[in-house]
C-alpha cells in the first residue's frame, strides 16, 4: 500500500489551519511541503516560517522538498523548522554526497529529487546513502500539470537499481498524480504518491485521500 503525501502547495493559504486539521484526520501519511526560490524553479512558494507553523499542527511526517539553489546553506534551518525528510535536487547539488551527509548528520532522512530530463542512472553511486528518491513526473515549479508518461519507465528502472543494490529507499512520485493513474504508478514500483490538486481541489479531500490509499 502506497503512502499518500498531499502537497500543501495546493492548499488554501487563507485557511491553512483547517487544511492541516483535515490532513491530520485523514488517512494521509505525510505532509509534502514544496519550497521554491524563484531561481532553481520559475516560481516562489513558501519558506521557513510557514513550515514552522505547519509543524506545530501535526505529528505526521513533514516531507520538505527543496526546489532551491545552494540547499546546504539552509539544511539546518529546515531541520529546526521541523522537517523529518529533507529532499534536495540532484541538479542543484554540485557535491551531492556532501549534501546527503549533512542532512543525515542533522537527524533527518535524506531525499534526492530528479527532474524529468535527468536519468535515474545518475543515482547509481549515491542510492545506498539516501532514504527517498523523489521522481518529478512534471517539470518542477507549478502545481496542476499533467503527468509525464515516461516517468513509468523511470520508476521501473529505479526499482531495479534499488533492488539490485539491496538499498532501503522509497520511490516518491511528484506531479500529476490522479485517481486514474495512481494504480499504474504503484504497479511500476512507487512507494509514495504526492498529490496536490487531486486532493485539495476535489469536492471531498478526505475521501479522495482514502480512495488513493485503497489503490
Q: Is 175 annotated as a binding residue?
A: yes
Decide if 88 contacts 52 (C-beta within 8 A).
Answer: no
Q: Which residues pair with 192 in a beta bridge?
A: 3, 172
Task: Tell me whether residue 141 is annotated as binding.
Answer: yes
Catalytic residue check, 34: yes
Is 176 marked as a binding-site residue?
yes
Return the H-helix or E-strand segment holding 132: strand 132-136
> Which residue among 29, 34, 37, 131 is the active-site one?
34
Q: Tell me whether residue 47 is annotated as binding.
A: no
State yes or no: 7 annotated in a binding site.
yes
Is 131 annotated for ligand binding? Answer: no
Q: Is 142 annotated as a binding residue?
A: yes
What is the number of other CB atoms lying within 10 angstroms of the CB of residue 53? 15
Q: Say how many C-beta atoms besides its own lie within 10 A of residue 3's C-beta.
A: 18
Q: Report the distance separating Cα 66 and Cα 164, nearest Å.
A: 28
Q: Which among 29, 37, 131, 174 is annotated as catalytic?
A: 174
34 annotated binding-site participant:
yes
**149 to 15, 47, 98, 145, 192: CA distances (angstroms):** 34, 31, 32, 12, 17
What would the grid cell of residue 132 be?
527517498
Any binding-site annotation on 78? Answer: no
Q: Which residues does residue 62 pair with via DSSP β-bridges, in sequence order?
A: 31
CA 131 to chain centre: 12
- Is 174 one of the catalytic residues? yes
Kindly list the catalytic residues. Answer: 34, 174
List binding-site positions for a divalent metal cation.
32, 34, 65, 174
List binding-site positions for substrate.
7, 65, 141-144, 174-176
List binding-site positions.
7, 32, 34, 65, 141-144, 174-176
Amino acid at each position: 500500500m502506497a503512502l499518500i503525501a498531499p502537497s500543501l502547495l495546493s492548499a488554501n493559504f487563507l485557511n491553512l489551519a483547517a487544511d492541516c486539521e483535515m490532513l491530520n484526520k485523514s488517512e494521509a501519511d505525510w505532509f509534502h511541503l514544496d519550497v521554491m526560490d524563484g531561481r532553481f524553479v520559475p516560481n516562489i512558494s513558501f519558506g521557513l516560517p510557514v513550515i514552522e507553523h505547519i509543524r506545530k499542527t501535526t505529528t505526521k511526517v513533514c516531507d520538505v522538498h527543496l526546489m532551491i539553489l545552494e540547499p546546504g546553506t539552509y539544511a539546518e534551518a529546515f531541520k529546526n523548522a521541523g522537517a523529518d525528510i529533507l529532499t534536495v535536487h540532484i541538479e542543484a547539488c554540485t557535491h551531492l554526497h556532501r549534501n546527503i551527509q549533512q542532512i543525515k548528520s542533522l537527524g533527518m532522512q535524506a531525499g534526492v529529487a530528479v527532474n524529468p530530463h535527468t536519468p535515474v542512472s545518475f543515482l547509481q553511486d549515491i542510492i545506498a546513502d539516501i532514504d527517498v528518491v523523489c521522481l518529478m513526473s512534471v517539470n518542477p515549479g507549478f502545481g496542476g500539470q499533467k503527468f509525464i508518461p515516461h516517468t513509468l519507465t523511470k520508476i521501473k528502472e529505479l526499482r531495479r537499481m534499488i533492488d539490485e543494490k539491496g538499498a532501503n529507499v522509497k520511490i516518491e512520485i511528484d506531479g500529476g498524480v490522479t485517481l486514474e493513474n495512481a494504480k499504474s504508478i504503484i504497479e511500476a514500483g512507487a512507494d509514495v504518491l504526492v498529490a496536490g490538486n487531486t486532493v485539495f481541489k476535489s469536492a471531498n479531500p478526505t475521501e479522495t485521500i482514502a480512495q488513493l490509499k485503497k489503490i
